[in-house]
């Protein structure tokens, strides 16, 4: 006997778009399907969006997700920026706001701005906070998803073990999901452009270097939820450059935006991007060298995971082809032709929106999951409530 949440998944994935299709597919009685569908409509999960062509008789109503009935608030927090957005349940943006802000200001200052920005977005869209069904936040650090907090980050002093979810729950009693920024970006890229790809790897190169891996449509986090920390793999143990983690010779100390800015006498990775875009030959040469250095490590990832696409995101993706060219040189020269013959190595299609889209998708998948839907219906019908263990 399928639950209403399981019926919703059949509608979401396109397996069944009408009541008759649900009856034929599941073998359940008309009265049972009618009960499940009516409950989903009443709770605002689905609506009738039109009629299907019919060979005779009354054409059946088409069932679809009601993406506009509930809202999602998301925050993409980087080392030097804060980007918030209000989306519907299809991850479509309704309003957004972005500022330059150092995450090292600490959780109190940053999350205070996020709370105020969330309210500004709702006011701008003319929507009440009661319509918010979930919140997502991505940050540049390792995350404990169950507890909703940062476990460790070298770029975020003061954030370790801070209860991020509790800091926002006073204003919004909804599921609050916390995610690593590279994971969120990878999910956003996969959702937007690469859903037919079984394996996607995204490497974010900004102040630091992080990686997100999508396998069969799900974020791969690893046994200790620490997958993707390639920025602190040591490539040159004798190198004098000290990484933010305290070690020497990490790939982040050699190829990150911070490393490039230091070598070129600049303040930030954005400054490096501006030099490259202006045609500065020294900046271009150093950027290509950094791409080749990172590509040495990515060649191992390509051989290990055999992804269909490798995406470059973050600030250094804005250097056009220069950083990407270096990556391609190393990956193709150091990997077996069999593993790279269909590999696409590209820059992010979403750019600065990748984290926002991916985090919105993460919340959407959680709120519309079978367990969350059945729990919400049992509690009163609305797609709200606390998250226990966020879905990936």
d(CA 307, CA 319) in angstroms, rounded, equals: 23
**pLDDT given for residue 383 in this prediction:** 58
d(CA 155, CA 203) in angstroms, rounded, equals: 17
- The 8-class DSSP code of residue 28 comes to -
**Contact present, 181 and 153 (Cβ < 8 Å):** no
Structure token digits, residue 391:
């879905």
**Distance linking the first and last C-alpha atoms of the chain:** 26
- Tell me if residue 124 falls in helix, strand or coil: helix
160 φ/ψ angles, rounded to the nearest 5 degrees = -55, 130
d(CA 301, CA 251) in angstroms, rounded, equals: 14
**pLDDT given for residue 301 in this prediction:** 94
**pLDDT given for residue 315 in this prediction:** 94
Work out the burial of residue 70: count CB atoms within 10 Å of its CB; fewer than 13 is exposed, 13-18 middle, 19 or more buried. buried
**pLDDT given for residue 203 in this prediction:** 97
**pLDDT given for residue 238 in this prediction:** 67
d(CA 245, CA 239) in angstroms, rounded, equals: 14
Q: What are the Cα distances from residue 373, in Å, to 7, 90, 137, 145, 184?
A: 10, 16, 21, 20, 23
Nearest 5°: the CA angle 288, 292, 210 is: 100
Query: Mean pLDDT in each 10-residue stretch from start to end of the chain (392 residues)?
Result: 95 93 95 96 90 64 92 95 96 95 94 96 95 95 84 84 87 93 97 96 94 96 86 77 76 93 94 96 97 96 96 95 96 94 96 96 97 93 44 38
What stretches of 228-334 adopt beta strand conformation (E)?
309-313
**pLDDT given for residue 389 in this prediction:** 34
């Amino acid at each position: 006997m399928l639950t209403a949440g399981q019926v919703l998944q059949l509608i979401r994935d396109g397996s069944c778009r009408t009541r008759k299709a649900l009856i034929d597919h599941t073998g359940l009685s008309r009265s049972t399907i009618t009960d499940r569908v009516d409950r989903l409509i009443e709770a605002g999960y689905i609506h009738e969006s039109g009629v299907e062509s019919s060979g005779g008789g009354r054409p059946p109503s088409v069932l679809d997700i009601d993406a506009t009935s509930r809202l999602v608030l998301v925050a993409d927090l980087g080392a030097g920026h804060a980007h918030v957005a209000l989306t519907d349940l299809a991850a479509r943006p309704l309003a957004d706001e972005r500022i330059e802000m150092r995450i090292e200001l600490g959780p109190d200052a940053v999350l205070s701005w996020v709370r105020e920005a969330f309210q500004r977005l709702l006011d701008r869209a003319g929507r009440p906070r009661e319509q918010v069904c979930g919140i997502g936040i991505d940050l540049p650090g390792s995350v404990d998803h169950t507890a909703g907090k940062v476990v460790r980050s070298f770029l975020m002093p003061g954030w370790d073990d801070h209860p991020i979810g509790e800091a926002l729950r006073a204003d919004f009693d909804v599921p609050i999901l916390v995610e690593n920024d590279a994971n969120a970006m990878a999910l956003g890229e996969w959702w937007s452009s690469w859903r037919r790809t079984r394996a996607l790897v995204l490497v974010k190169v900004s102040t630091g270097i992080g990686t997100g891996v999508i396998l069969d449509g799900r974020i791969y986090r690893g046994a200790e939820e620490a997958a993707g920390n390639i920025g602190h793999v040591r490539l040159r143990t004798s190198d004098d450059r000290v990484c933010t983690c305290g070690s020497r010779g990490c790939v982040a100390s050699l190829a990150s935006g911070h490393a490039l800015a230091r070598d070129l006498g600049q303040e930030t990775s954005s400054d490096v991007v501006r030099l490259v875009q202006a045609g500065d030959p020294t900046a271009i040469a150093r950027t290509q060298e950094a791409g080749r250095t990172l590509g040495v490590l990515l060649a191992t990832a390509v051989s290990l995971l055999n992804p269909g696409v490798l995406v470059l995101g973050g600030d250094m993706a804005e250097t056009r082809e220069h950083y990407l060219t270096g990556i391609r040189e190393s990956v193709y020269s150091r990997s077996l032709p069999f593993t790279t013959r269909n590999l696409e190595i590209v820059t992010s299609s979403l750019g600065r929106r990748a984290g926002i889209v991916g985090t919105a998708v993460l919340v959407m998948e959680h709120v519309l999951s079978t367990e969350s839907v059945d729990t919400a219906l049992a509690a009163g019908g609305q797609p709200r409530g606390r998250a226990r263990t966020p879905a990936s």
